[in-house]
Structure 1
């Protein structure tokens, strides 16, 4: 397949103008500072890692308060296709409106002869081939058109080196894995400079390989290092022996994976736009349950907001962010938390001083080319934004309303919502793409800006209750 076959499905450099179309979401512009408590659902990254480990464990696991979004439901459905039983159960105490837990029962043998829909979920498309190699039979993985432009090469090449029989499409989806029920495993060297998920994929399944797995990275620095630490810690939670003492090398010993009983932390990257609202509007947002210690990259929002002008307080009750009405630019390397780039870029476009975002060249291969998309969409609203080799430079400018395209990217949509807090007339295209990681974002956003104590709607995937809630903090 030629490189042209993997060109982006949307061209962020060609903007059609500010005209809105039916179905666009009018981003609310509040007439007063926000004052709210925002309760957010669980981490997508943790939910999908724990689902994979529970599927490979020796006994039944319980995942408490898991995220139910498109990405995690795709992962659950993919594992069900491989023979894993995943059931909804009421949480302890049967709290009204609480998200059901998941009971995950692994089969004696993962089955093949199935097709898996990866959607646009990087964790599904990159984690599952390493799991499918342990199945008995053929497993075909494919996804949305946009997923077919996201790189897979380091994962599939590494699996071949470890003894897995598979076919790919020039380093992209679709991928077909011919599972034999076991994988030899061993040592492999790869270049993970495009995504830390390449390393996590091999580590998560590696304990079940006959020789375990040793992964060595050779290339430019690995982005999003906290996500690898998250993978290592979830493996240790499940009893796996992991040695990460040597730089750029990770070793997982062959072993059984223990059953899990874990509570999923709130998703701190999804929290980013909500706590940013406090800074933009000069108000206050409280997020209960923000962990004192976490491997989530989204925790960097505390430092970012503090530097940009907010008062940030973390205590045993959670995180409270209060804006002063002033918003300053920032000079920051986001290599380890690149998923925050759209949120930071939106804040930067509203700041009174310049911003430089560095270290995020790899997000050109995320759900869309995020650097090109942010340059095009911020620029279309009047921002003085310049794309650099590995990031963005954003200078103060007067913004105006208009259409903000999202390119099927959930974080582009939430960036548009942040801009709308201060810029009237921002219309966000395809806001429902936020359901990839956060059910009912528009409702949750609106309720944050309202006075009444209300509850966000469910993901639509389960009738069992809401995925998030907002209440007035007045």
Structure 2
């Protein structure tokens, strides 16, 4: 098959741009699930429109949930853009077919909801979905009384035999490979007869900020949740059974998707403002402010959003990215252009993401002349003079944006399958071009 190669633009000057980042995938897909389980209709405003969120919406529609899409012609600011009206089904329906693609939130969040359907729900997805860990969800639902046929694979394809209800109760699971195992059960747990109590019996749970996001959104929907960070028992989460409130949710920008744009300010010694950056948020991407400042930049809040400025120097970093693993690919790209060595650790779980992100980053940066080695739980990056070449993405959106960042400083980088960025950032190629050469109209 012929590779589709995208010539990564090279920066010829310091960037100076203002960027509007689409809505958070994590917030959008959680909001859709909670709205589908609510007792009355709700709204999800300014949702992310991407492959992952479309898969979630289509999966819910297959189960009988109404999702009406509306577009407000007012653009920009917090009041404009698209809105989805979500109308819960009186009874989730089966039989149904759900395509999970390669979307972690869809493959983990929908099976716990499907047990409430009144018939079988068959799940299938991309070939990579067959390799990603699903045992935490499958084993937990079985322990809570659900019937699931997966051919003994512990993964996809699988069929959940919904009976219209689930008793729920206490379940022990190993959530050390994905925080989504915990979020998945929390999101639907209030609709189980006894609620749900989740006990992690494995190692440390990665990406804990995503569980905190789930807990906060559940509470705003009227659900009673006990969580460790509120003084509860360590590694134990409890959801009390009860009705969910249909809400009007405005989705924040996806802060993780700001990573390549702020990286451009670092790499070029320029300035980038991301509009509508929240002053307070549970999104892990907010940690970009601190991480990139340590690497040589500075930031400040303005009336428009968050402004990040590069100093013209990039410093290596020692960083535990366990809670913010999704930021690793772009941070690694910036580190490959730094003036000193970097060590990124706490991220062994990235081997189980859209691709083995640690192996992919090491191989692709090294193929450009870099010196990156894998450690037991991360990457050691020793900056070297890089050269152009093909940078493969492994159908992983964050690997693709990392390649674009390197291409700012390294002529001749060609990104294979840049279209994979549509997973969470559908207009990335145009946004990237506009970043380097802003259109005449104000902003990007």
- Which TM-score band applies after superposition, normalised by the shorter structure? over 0.9
| Match status 1:157 vs 2:171 | no
| Match status 1:95 vs 2:77 | no
Deviation at 1:89, TM superposition (A): 2.2
Aligned match of 2:117: 135
Deviation at 1:30, TM superposition (A): 1.6
* Unpaired segments ≥5 residues, structure 2: none
Q: How does 1:49-448 map to 2 (within 5 A)?
A: 49-91=30-72, 94-96=73-75, 98-169=80-151, 170-244=153-227, 245-448=232-435
Whether the aligned pair in 2 keeps the contact of 1:292 and 1:316 (CA below 8 Å) is no
Give the match's secondary structure for 1:104.
Answer: strand
Deviation at 1:271, TM superposition (A): 0.8
Aligned match of 1:465: none
Give the match's secondary structure for 2:178.
Answer: coil
- Whole-Å Cα distance in 2 between the matches of residues 416 and 211 of structure 1? 48
Structure 1 residues 384 and 139: alpha-carbon distance in aligned structure 2, compared to 1, 3 A threshold = same
- Tell me the alpha carbon deviations over residues 55-99 of structure 1, each in whole angstroms, 9 at most, x when there is no partner: 0000000111000000000000000000000001244xx415853
Deviation at 1:149, TM superposition (A): 0.5
Structure 1 residues 390 and 259: alpha-carbon distance in aligned structure 2, compared to 1, 3 A threshold = same
| Match status 1:449 vs 2:436 | yes
- Whole-Å Cα distance in 2 between the matches of residues 434 and 384 of structure 1? 26
Deviation at 1:385, TM superposition (A): 0.5
Greater shift after overlay, 20-29 or 173-182? 20-29
Deviation at 1:172, TM superposition (A): 1.1
Give the match's secondary structure for 2:409.
Answer: coil
- Whole-Å Cα distance in 2 between the matches of residues 172 and 375 of structure 1? 27
- Whole-Å Cα distance in 2 between the matches of residues 239 and 303 of structure 1? 33
- Whole-Å Cα distance in 2 between the matches of residues 260 and 239 of structure 1? 10
Deviation at 1:313, TM superposition (A): 1.3
Aligned match of 1:461: none
Give the match's secondary structure for 1:417.
Answer: helix
- Whole-Å Cα distance in 2 between the matches of residues 188 and 95 of structure 1? 47
- Tell me the alpha carbon deviations over residues 353-408 of structure 1, each in whole angstroms, 9 at most, x when there is no partner: 00000000001000000011011001001111000000000012110000000000
Give the match's secondary structure for 1:180.
Answer: coil
- Whole-Å Cα distance in 2 between the matches of residues 444 and 397 of structure 1? 28
Deviation at 1:100, TM superposition (A): 1.6
- Whole-Å Cα distance in 1 between the matches of residues 3 and 406 of structure 2? 20
Aligned match of 1:11: none
State TM-score, norm by structure 2: 0.96
* Unpaired segments ≥5 residues, structure 1: 1-19, 455-469
Give the match's secondary structure for 1:140.
Answer: strand
State TM-score, norm by structure 1: 0.90
Greater shift after overlay, 97-106 or 180-189? 97-106
Give the match's secondary structure for 1:321.
Answer: strand
Count of matched residue pairs: 436
Whether the aligned pair in 1 keeps the contact of 2:368 and 2:387 (CA below 8 Å) is yes
Give the match's secondary structure for 2:326.
Answer: helix
Whether the aligned pair in 2 keeps the contact of 1:359 and 1:391 (CA below 8 Å) is yes
Aligned match of 1:17: none
- Whole-Å Cα distance in 1 between the matches of residues 440 and 278 of structure 2? 24
Whether the aligned pair in 2 keeps the contact of 1:292 and 1:315 (CA below 8 Å) is no
Deviation at 1:326, TM superposition (A): 0.3
- Whole-Å Cα distance in 1 between the matches of residues 5 and 359 of structure 2? 21
Moved over 6 A (4+): none
